[in-house]
Structure 1
Amino acid sequence: MSDAVVNGLAGAGGGIVAQILTYPLQAVNTRQQTERKAKAKYAAQDTEAALAFAKANPAQKQRGTIQELIKVIKTEGWGGLYRGLRPSLLGTACSQGVYYYFYQLLKNEAEARVARSKKLGNADAAVGMLTSLIVASLAGCANVLLTNPIWVIVTRMQTQAQAQMVSEIAASNVNARPSKYAVVPSVDSATTSTSSSSSPVGGQGTLDTVKDLYKEAGVRGFWKGVLPTLIMVCNPAIQFMLYEGMLRKLTEKRRVTSRGSKHVSASEVFLLGAIAKLGATVVTYPLLVVKSRLQAKQAIGGDKSLQYTGTLDAIGKMIRYEGFSGFYKGMSTKIVQSVVAAAILFMIKEELVKAARALVTKQIKIPKVVLLKSAA
């Protein structure tokens, strides 16, 4: 089994475990990112409209992670925290497997080129930070193009209840007052209204979500948000650049073990993975919010200012109607979720790779022992 395949399978295994453990945080974060609430832009136009907007959108601070978790449990039950888990696990396995496979494949090629360069007399040849960044970026692009449809479906499932609640309260607003003063309500007011209603909150399965998405946007809908996601390949690129740089510095100071390798503990890998992911997340978070906005259901409420036709349209409308703070909604939740998930993933992946290599080494030695016994 090649090193690229071993790393691909190990990455998929680590990703699945990390996804299961941190999924509720991811589901909550997606809801925070896709909560569309414009500023009170009606205030300068009409006093009555301003009052209506203020009533539907009470001023409040962004809910924290714990508050958002409690809100989801109250309105949707514990199942609301795990909606879309199955396609998410499939997406994680595919994403991590594809990413690590191509990453290791390209990394091996880069290292082979360095080895050939050294044989030709270039003693200073080495795989530098820029090469690592390019390798990680190319692996990330392959991953995005192949797995984006899965993540669009997951985002839709995670935000179903949110979209349903806003749609219901928006419809009641339209029926209750003249269209001139129609406003887009906040999710809080939608929650209050829907909680007293007898209609079920969110419940589409994977197949129904696929049909709904296809009906809304056709085949192209499955690649919604692919542009900001492609730009976001710099996230794992930055993450792996930081991780491998810190790991290289750490291993340089370690002694070679009896097995011929330098030992790095699981807890150290966990810490390095967490630090690397933290740095990458802070830099690229606004792109993640734009991606989630594009992948979520657009036809909610009646305000076109909060619905997007593409990446540039989303960025422009978010700046105009929500301000730059809109690009950082739910960032604290994402930092906790992504840092913990990345740390778990790196730790499990490294342990699985070590176990696989040890198993292969052991299998190679077994025939020699058998041959010695048979000769005796």
Structure 2
Amino acid sequence: MSDALINGLAGAGGGIIAQLVTYPLQTVNTRQRTERDQKEERRTIGTLEQMYQIVKQEGWERLYGGFAPSLVGTAASQGVYYYFYQIFRNKAEAAALKRRRKGSGDGSVGILSSLVVAALAGCVNVLLTNPVWLVVTRMQTHTKKNRQRRTGLLSPEDAIPSAVEPPPFDTRHAIQEVYGEGGVLGFWRGVFPTLIMVSNPSIQFMLYETLLKKLKTRRLSSNEGSSNITAAEIFLLGAFAKLGATVVTYPLLVVRSRLHAKQIVADKRHLYRGTADAVAKMIRYEGCYGFYKGMGTKIVQSVLAAAVLFMVKEELVKGSRWFLTKGVVDPIKSTTR
């Protein structure tokens, strides 16, 4: 089994575990990012209180709205990303060794090359998986009130619950809704800010690789003479790297969520015709605050998810290599990038 395939499968497994742990936080954060009316900002409530309100008003299942397609998206996204990341990384390492043989460089992949590698893998991932995440956003932001509007069951007062329970909004309905709004190309709505957001994993992996390399070097230079990194250390490195990347790129995530969510046709202030239009209207009607709605929740969710993902992925890679080599593992190569 190739190194790229091992990393791709391990990344998919780590992503699924991280998704299981953090999905309710992701649902709450998606709703926070897509809140548009000023009256909705009444709720400067905490994340836990908002989770409680969702459970009370809509049921436990709404915290996991879109969970099935999200799992598919996570597995596909992490698998695609890590597979192509390892392929591009191998090429970058080969180029670095070639330069070293010619007397240029020390044979290691620099920070700039690491950024390019992560960006290329991210672009491939975005183009292949954007439709899945658009459907997931629709399902996460769909409330009981939305279902009543869709089926004509919502009372004029907008607050009186209907006696007739509307049908559930499932993956099929979300796909039909997206297709009805924009056809096949509608599934790539918001792809532009998403492509720009490849800077997030680029920054994340740059920080992660840099910190991991320094930790390995320090460990080798110590009396222990081993570069083995523990699962707890991987957890902390992944958390710190994701924290830095999230703070820098969060406004792009908000814009993407607004474009992925169902458009409010009746209100031109909130009808976004593209990335530039969304940015302009958010600045005009919401100010800078609009670009950072729910960032606290996102930091907790993304940092926890990334830390779990890195930790599980590294352990899966180690286990796979041990299994394939029947327990003969080079300690220096056992920790992957």
Residue 201 of structure 1: how far off its partner (Å): 6.7
Which residue number in structure 2 is paired with residue 42 of structure 1? none
1:69-123 CA-to-partner distances (Å, cap 9, x unmatched) read 0111011110010110000000000000000001010001010111122222335
2:290 pairs with 1:326? yes
Q: TM-score, normalised by structure 2?
A: 0.90
Which residue number in structure 1 is paired with residue 333 of structure 2? none
- The equivalent position to 1:69 in structure 2, one of 30, 47, 51, is 51
Change (3 A) 1:19 1:127: same
Residue 356 of structure 1: how far off its partner (Å): 1.0
Residue 198 of structure 1: how far off its partner (Å): 2.9
Change (3 A) 1:316 1:131: same
2:252 pairs with 1:282? no
2:275 pairs with 1:304? no
Secondary structure in structure 1 of the residue aligned to 2:45: coil
Moved beyond 4 Å, runs of 4+: 165-168
**Aligned residues: CA RMSD:** 2.4
Residue 238 of structure 1: how far off its partner (Å): 0.3
Is the contact between residue 251 and residue 264 of structure 1 (CA under 8 Å) also seen in structure 2? yes
Is the contact between residue 106 and residue 135 of structure 1 (CA under 8 Å) also seen in structure 2? yes
Is the contact between residue 164 and residue 202 of structure 1 (CA under 8 Å) also seen in structure 2? no
Change (3 A) 1:141 1:199: farther
Change (3 A) 1:87 1:172: closer
Is the contact between residue 242 and residue 276 of structure 1 (CA under 8 Å) also seen in structure 2? yes
- Residue type matched to 2:22 in 1? T
2:311 pairs with 1:347? yes
Change (3 A) 1:235 1:166: farther
1:315-344 CA-to-partner distances (Å, cap 9, x unmatched) read 000110111101111111100100000000
Q: Give the whole-Å Cα distance in 2 for the aligned partners of 1:59 and 1:141.
A: 34
2:92 pairs with 1:110? yes
What is the number of equivalent residue pairs in this alignment? 326
Unmatched 5+ residue regions in structure 1? 39-56, 177-189, 366-376
- The equivalent position to 1:242 in structure 2, one of 189, 207, 215, is 207
1:186-215 CA-to-partner distances (Å, cap 9, x unmatched) read xxxx6xx15x33354782111121112111
2:143 pairs with 1:161? yes
Is the contact between residue 28 and residue 50 of structure 2 (CA under 8 Å) also seen in structure 1? yes
Identity %: 58
Is the contact between residue 269 and residue 343 of structure 1 (CA under 8 Å) also seen in structure 2? yes
- Residue type matched to 1:359 in 2? F
Residue 126 of structure 1: how far off its partner (Å): 2.6
Residue 164 of structure 1: how far off its partner (Å): 0.8
Give matches, 1:213-232, under 5 Å: 213-232=178-197
Q: Give the whole-Å Cα distance in 1 for the aligned partners of 2:67 and 2:236.
A: 26
Give matches, 1:99-248, under 5 Å: 99-161=81-143, 164=146, 193=159, 196-200=161-165, 203-248=168-213
Residue 359 of structure 1: how far off its partner (Å): 1.4
Is the contact between residue 256 and residue 262 of structure 1 (CA under 8 Å) also seen in structure 2? no
1:345-365 CA-to-partner distances (Å, cap 9, x unmatched) read 000000011111111221889
Unmatched 5+ residue regions in structure 2? 330-337
Which residue number in structure 1 is paired with residue 32 of structure 2? 32
Q: TM-score, normalised by structure 1?
A: 0.81
Change (3 A) 1:269 1:162: farther
